[in-house]
Structure 1
Amino acid sequence: MTSVLGVKTVLHPVSDLPKAKALYSALLGVEPVADAPYYVGYEVAGQHIGLVPNGDMGGPVAYWHVTDIEAKLAEVTAAGGTLKEAAHDVGGGRLVASFTDPDGNVLGLVQDS
């Protein structure tokens, strides 16, 4: 089994990015470290909180950080998970993927280079 480093990233789908940014900035007490029309991200208390405009996520998605994303995807799909989004690079060598559990809940994986 591959190592799991914990949930360190949570992404939230938002319909109005400027309003969500104002609210999350107030909630978290910090300014975003990533601020673009397609994504706003915060680093706080060892976690990354992201806002995804017009995301089709259906709700917040927790991303488990792992040491080997392909191996972990193989493990969870063999155990009954269904691949939603194959592993792909989102920049800087960071790989992300997602899958659903048997009840349809979306779970994410992140591997940092």
Structure 2
Amino acid sequence: MSPTIRAQVVPVSDIAAAKAVYTALYGEPHTDTPYYVGFDAGGFEVSLAPGDTSGGPVAYADVDDLEAARQALLDAGATERTPPQPIGPEARVCVLDDADGNAIGLRGK
């Protein structure tokens, strides 16, 4: 399976203020918590999460094998921004940077 980008996480400093802006664009969120607000943008997930805004939004590619994809990127010269961490019972994410510091998000098992 070829990696497919299905989600983007936007780090925000004020989730309530950001939610108002994104709700004006996408309508009511399907998930609304203090640590995550999710919108369905025509089958693409746009999410808001409190965090460090200096790195900008991260698009996540869905991969079958997170460890294998992560290692392939590291072997090719990427560096790790955030190590794999669980986001659900059967899903984990990590973020790597390319040589120019651009984020590459991976989501998988």
Fold similarity call, TM over 0.5: yes
Counterpart contact for 2:36–2:50, Cα < 8 Å:
yes
Q: CA deviation at 1:36?
A: 0.8
Pick aligned residue for 2:59 from 59, 62, 69: 62
Q: Could you list the runs of 5+ residues in structure 2 that have no partner in the other structure?
A: none
User: Is the alpha carbon distance of 1:56 and 1:4 closer, same or farther for their aligned partners in structure 2, counting shifts above 3 Å?
Assistant: farther
Q: Which residue of 2 aligns with 1:15?
A: 13
Matched length? 109
Sequence identity, in percent? 39
Counterpart contact for 1:88–1:96, Cα < 8 Å:
yes
One-letter amino acid of the counterpart of residue 30, structure 2 = V
Q: TM-score, normalised by structure 1?
A: 0.87
Q: Which residue of 2 aligns with 1:82?
A: 79
One-letter amino acid of the counterpart of residue 75, structure 2 = A
For 1:28-107, what aligned pairs fall within 5 Å after superposition? 28-29=26-27, 31-56=28-53, 58-107=55-104
Q: CA deviation at 1:54?
A: 3.0
User: Is the alpha carbon distance of 1:57 and 1:91 closer, same or farther for their aligned partners in structure 2, counting shifts above 3 Å?
Assistant: farther
Runs of 4+ in 1 over 6 A off after TM superposition: none
Is residue 101 of structure 2 the alignment partner of residue 110 of structure 1? Answer: no
Give secondary structure in 2 for the equivalent of 1:90. strand
Give secondary structure in 2 for the equivalent of 1:4. coil
